[in-house]
Chains A and B, each alone.
Chain A
């Protein structure tokens, strides 16, 4: 038995989301308020009871504006976490810490995002003069996140023999799951291996279908103590374990400068996560792995200990990460086929799996691993019944 002060002491009790789309008329603030309102309705908690707020540093809506719009009560704890897609599970985990330490009783965590917003496509808005980290890559035409991850992917394929078929396995699994999820952007759009192999390049070796979607939308969750959670309408999704990581000598995204660039933040995050959990990788029923790009799934399968280094590609063969496979991954369609909202939909889908209400439900799933961005300072959660 391994447990710590956070183990199963808090739970996600409410989830909410807006529709996902492109060019939606609502502002980011309106989207955030709609998702938070839906999450509060989901658990039957009044806005006036909320006393904590958590989100991403890249979130453009300020706590004061959200709280005044939704009619929240007196806020006694608020926090933001950096590094974009690496933040999501950290937002929930730090909310759990705030609850366990008594700084708040009911925390709302959220992410709202529009493609046209200041934080969207930051690579397309950069100044002509670049300093600090990105002067070592962007002047040479390594401009976008996809280029940065493609560089690691090519090296990974070279070292371990992974192939485009493995990357296709990831894209196809996500799409099959999205095809069961009416809320998913790609609900009605199947994806074949031929479609994948014939798709246009974005940054070789990555093609269009190795990339996540671009989405307007918002999601929110409500987190409270385990004691309070037991009185609420849905089965609680307990925060069983939580970890964050910045590995030694890590540089976010363009992590090409240390001894072992392919050993990303997932490894350190996993060590901490498993050290505070009663569960082992073999016990995990279903996983929501951060998928801004398909190779991140393969790296995460290795980092979180589902297979050895270099075996993440073959792990995805024979439908292993599809519903019915050895480890169903990204059962809502996730960033690649449901919506890309900096990975927050991975958290809500993890809750649905634990509740038993996913549209790609893993039968009897008692737990779910959820991870945030690989290749950046990251975080992860284990949710369980």
Chain B
């Protein structure tokens, strides 16, 4: 397993998100006072200033908002797989809630498994989950 960068699985504002990934759920932070969702997570609701907050499930479905194809020089683990894709996905139920991720050809495929020439903005995708080190990453497949 190459040495990918990893998130903080505990003790960070966003740790519940990563714990959700490990259970196969794509979560988003929401305000317990006004109910509005926000991404990335933060301690105070920018709409009502409540600090009461929770993570709640999303549809895990969205469309590709943009994408890039990085080439070296990169950190070694990523260089090995380059060129690969990185996409931004806008959620179907709220297109201003967006996640950075990777489009993969199958739930267990590498981040370079899709021909970059075939990637299109607007393409519908759904989340899948892959173990990476001690974490679980959301990845995306076409639907």
Contact = CB atoms under 8 A, between A and B. Distances in A.
Given A131-B8, A154-B121, A142 B46 contact: no
Given A141-B74, A141-B86, A203-B69, A256 B5 contact: no
A251 interface: yes
B111 A141 contact: yes
A197 interface: no
Given A130-B7, A139-B6, A204-B69, A151 B74 contact: no
A129 interface: yes
Nearest to B77: A141
B98 A142 contact: no
B63 interface: no
A257 B75 contact: no
Contact of A140 (B83, B102, B121): B102
Main secondary structure of the interface of A (DSSP, over half): mixed
Contacts of A68: none
B98 A256 contact: yes
B71 A204 contact: yes
Interface string A231-260: 000000000000000000101001011110
Contacts of A143: 5, 70, 74-75, 78
A143 B78 CA distance: 9
Interface in B118-136: 121, 132, 135
A251 B100 CA distance: 14
Contacts of A136: 14, 40, 99-100
B14 A154 contact: no
Interface in A99-156: 124, 126, 128-133, 135-144, 147, 150-152, 154-155
Nearest to A139: B5
Given A137-B100, A140-B101, A141-B78, A256 B6 contact: no
A130 B137 CA distance: 13
Interface residues of B, number: 41
A133 B116 CA distance: 26
A151 B86 contact: yes
Contacts of B97: 257
A153 to B, nearest CB: 8
B113 interface: no
A131 B100 contact: no
Given A142-B68, A147-B68, A204 B102 contact: no
A189 interface: no
A128 B4 CA distance: 7
A150 B74 contact: no
A71 interface: no
A151 B8 contact: no
A71 B80 CA distance: 51
Contacts of A154: 66-68, 121
6 contacts: A139-B4, A143-B75, A204-B70, A254-B100, A256-B98, A257-B98
By Cβ-Cβ distance, the 10 closest A-B pairs, closest first, are A204-B69, A155-B66, A150-B68, A135-B7, A201-B71, A137-B100, A131-B8, A142-B86, A203-B70, A154-B66
Interface of B: 3-8, 12-14, 39-40, 46, 65-71, 73-75, 78, 81, 83-84, 86, 88, 96-102, 111, 116, 121, 132, 135, 137
Given A135-B12, A154-B66, A203-B69, 6 more contacts: A128-B5, A136-B14, A139-B132, A143-B5, A150-B70, A249-B46
